[in-house]
A = this chain, B = another copy of it.
Amino acid sequence: MYVTIPDPGTIAAPLAPLASSTPKPAEARLRPGAFLYYEGDEVDWLYQVTSGVVRLTRLLADGRRQVIAFGYPGDIIGFPADGQHHTDCETLTDARLQPFRRAHLETGEGDPVLHSALLQAALREISAMQDHFMMLGRKSATEKLASFLCVLTDRVGQDLGNYRQVKLPMCRSDIADFLGLTTETVSRTFTQLRKSKIIAIDQSHTVIIQKPTALLGLSLGDLD
């Protein structure tokens, strides 16, 4: 999950498990805070998140951290480069993950449908990351957070009569490290959105979108 301008074609894509004629290995079930893999690990499996949320991070020597992506149901995670993982992957909630052998991506291994689905997921990932570049490089704190909330709501939000609601399983510093901000700035930007009645917040981790149009406007750069 990257923060991109909402695009019905990809963002709201149905979360059907990848088509495959191959018998699947058993789904993995993980508790919150479990690590699925670490940066530098050999890649043996890719995973499709089937439920829950995971977090992909990369660290700098001095401790600075970048959250690369959040993995939501439907997302494929664990693409190898030179055979290795290049991020850490930790679960934020209870999660279930469907593993796929790396060979299905790299050699096809007798299942062209699965091979093609994994390849397409990799290509969509490249495009989504390009959107995220624009965000990290060129957007203000308000635009970043508004974009984040819009995309998340489109993907996993629930309708609430006039309003929409979205649960945030990640903490403020995860959001900050994803958007290239500090927790303080994320917090302040949340209260700013709250004070202008665009959102309401329930117990820090539930956001009610009271003015979806205004929020979308902010995400696109309509003067704050």
Contact = CB atoms under 8 A, between A and B. Distances in A.
Contact of A10 (B9, B82, B125, B137): B82
B81 A124 contact: yes
Interface residues of A, number: 44
A130 B68 contact: yes
A80 interface: yes
A64 interface: yes
A81 B126 contact: yes
Contacts of A122: 119, 122-123, 126
Contacts of A214: none
Instruction: Give how many copies assemble into the complex.
Output: 2
A66 interface: yes
Interface stretch (A20-28, A55-63, A157-165): A55-63
A108 interface: yes
A73 to B, nearest CB: 20
A220 interface: yes
20 contacts: A9-B82, A60-B134, A66-B133, A68-B133, A79-B123, A79-B127, A81-B123, A81-B124, A81-B127, A81-B128, A107-B116, A119-B122, A122-B122, A126-B129, A132-B133, A133-B133, A133-B136, A136-B136, A136-B137, A138-B180
Interface of A: 9-10, 58, 60-62, 64-66, 68, 79-82, 86-87, 105-108, 116, 119-120, 122-134, 136-138, 177, 179-180, 220-221
